[in-house]
Amino acid sequence: MEIGTTAVGAQALFTLPRRPGYGTIGKSIKLLANCFQVEIPKIDVYLYEVDIKPDKCPRRVNR
């Protein structure tokens, strides 16, 4: 199974490891999934990492 493809025929971003064997307990089920390709306009995306460390609080506040 390949995850992270962006278009038909595009190379996968990563590949899941192969499963060593299938289980023997349980039963097969029919699974339906709502999955569709979405195309979005090319835009800049920014990622900010914020680490907030408050000043030392009085001991009674930390209870």
Q: Give the pLDDT confidence of 28-39 residue by residue, as tens digits.
A: 889 888 888 888
Domain count, the chain: 1
Does 49 reside within a domain?
Answer: yes
In a domain, 13, yes or no: no
> Cα(11)–Cα(7) distance, rounded to whole angstroms?
9
Residue 22 domain-assigned?
Answer: no
Note the Cα 39 to chain centre separation in Å.
Answer: 18
CB 3 within 8 A of CB 14: yes
* Residue 3 falls inside a structural domain: no
Identify each DSSP E strand in 1-63 by its residue range.
Answer: 2-3, 14-15
Residue 10 lies in a domain: no
Compute the average pLDDT of residues 9-22. Answer: 70
Q: Which residues contact 62 (CB under 8 A, 6 or more apart)?
A: none
Whether the CB-CB separation of 16 and 1 falls below 8 Å is answered with yes
Instruction: Report the predicted TM-score, pTM, of the whole model to 2 decimal places.
Output: 0.22
Residue 2 lies in a domain: no
- Domain extent, residue 36, equals 32-57
How large is the average pLDDT for residues 10-39? 78
